[in-house]
A and B are shown apart, each in its own frame.
Chain A
Amino acid sequence: MSVFPYLVAGWVLLAGIYGLATSRDLIQSVGCLAVAQSSTYVLLLAVGYRRGATAPVFADLPVGAPVVDPVVQALALTDVVVGATVTALLLALVIQLRKRHGTVDPERLTGLRG
């Protein structure tokens, strides 16, 4: 089952998208988006994994020791930081929506208001 971890990432992505499309609460939608995004962490770290290897930090490792792929780890780090701040921005928008429209249910958000 050498593709199983990749398929897990796809499953997490689809679960997040399903939640986004069916959610009746914008706070929950933001959470679903975070779930969909976390599938990329699974995929990146699965791509970078190397059997029997350790973390790519050579402070206490001999040079030439097998390490997992540091490039995808750096990408996952980027991903986490951007995800967290964008989640914060979306939640701020939800707070303002609740104040102006009195609801966080996307189905009841109809019509534009200034």
Chain B
Amino acid sequence: MSRRVRLLLLAGAGLVIAVVFAAGCAELPPFGSPDHPYGERAVAAALARHTANVVSSVNFDQRAFDTLGEESILFASVLGTVIVLRPARDEDRQEPEPARVLPSTRLFGALLLPVTLLTGGYLVAHGQLSPGGGFQGGVVLATGLHLAYVAADYLALRQVRPLAVLDVADALAAGAFSVLGLVGLVAGAAFLSNTLPLGTFNTLSSGGLVPVINAVVGVEVASGVIVLLAQFLDQAVEVVDR
């Protein structure tokens, strides 16, 4: 198909999308309206199960089955990236050279690395109480660890990144989500239903199953993102043509 024909086709299809989308928008409830039937029911359900952060309650309790599918996509993407980026037969690994870094930069990194990791851990642990949770905290943990690469060099990153352990942690955490669903079945309720003791509202142990799944997702996202980034960094730093 020539470029011209393709652009004409695109213009036609874009026009159809624009008209249908605009017509659909005209029928939506007006922006900022006070009427949110699903939202109100979700808030009521979250408060009934002692979960202060309603978004976490929706993700890890009310729609936990949906989140199971989502974290499977995450796991499959990590797995796919590891497979696609594995060193091919005509490639070799070379040892990365130590980089020259200002001592002050290195010191700054060494001081801030524990702070960023603590922040990530805090975000995961308080997912049922305050904004944050397994997904957000996991990403903070994973990217925070790469401060070692930014402030020092690849060799320093390899020292603080136990890749073999993280590979296993990713898979175990992904599986643990499904296993936690069985808790509901054992208690005689549906798969992934929240049957654990709900605890006192607005404390770290509140929410029943929510903090547990939240922690599992935190481990999976953190180790998954580190493994994912490791594949790309390997390509840039270590893998060379034979």
Contact = CB atoms under 8 A, between A and B. Distances in A.
Contact of B39 (A5, A71, A81, A96): A71
A50 B31 CA distance: 8
A61 B16 CA distance: 45
B21 A18 contact: no
Interface string A82-99: 100110110111011001
B186 interface: no
B89 interface: no
B52 A59 contact: yes
B183 to A, nearest CB: 21
B32 interface: yes
Interface string B176-207: 00000000000000000000000000100000
Contacts of A77: 55, 59, 135-136
A51 B47 CA distance: 22
Nearest to A1: B31
Given A13-B21, A92-B85, 19 more contacts: A2-B32, A3-B26, A6-B28, A10-B18, A10-B22, A14-B14, A18-B10, A50-B33, A50-B39, A57-B54, A58-B47, A58-B52, A58-B54, A70-B39, A70-B42, A70-B57, A71-B38, A95-B84, A95-B235
Interface of B: 6-7, 10, 14, 17-18, 21-22, 25-26, 28-34, 36, 38-39, 42-43, 46-47, 52-55, 57-59, 63, 66-67, 70, 73-74, 77-78, 80-81, 84-85, 88, 129-131, 135-136, 202, 221, 224, 228, 231-232, 235
30 contacts: A2-B31, A3-B25, A5-B31, A6-B25, A7-B25, A13-B21, A14-B14, A14-B18, A21-B7, A51-B32, A51-B34, A56-B42, A56-B43, A56-B55, A57-B52, A58-B43, A58-B47, A67-B54, A69-B39, A70-B58, A71-B38, A71-B42, A78-B66, A81-B70, A81-B74, A81-B135, A86-B77, A92-B80, A92-B232, A95-B85
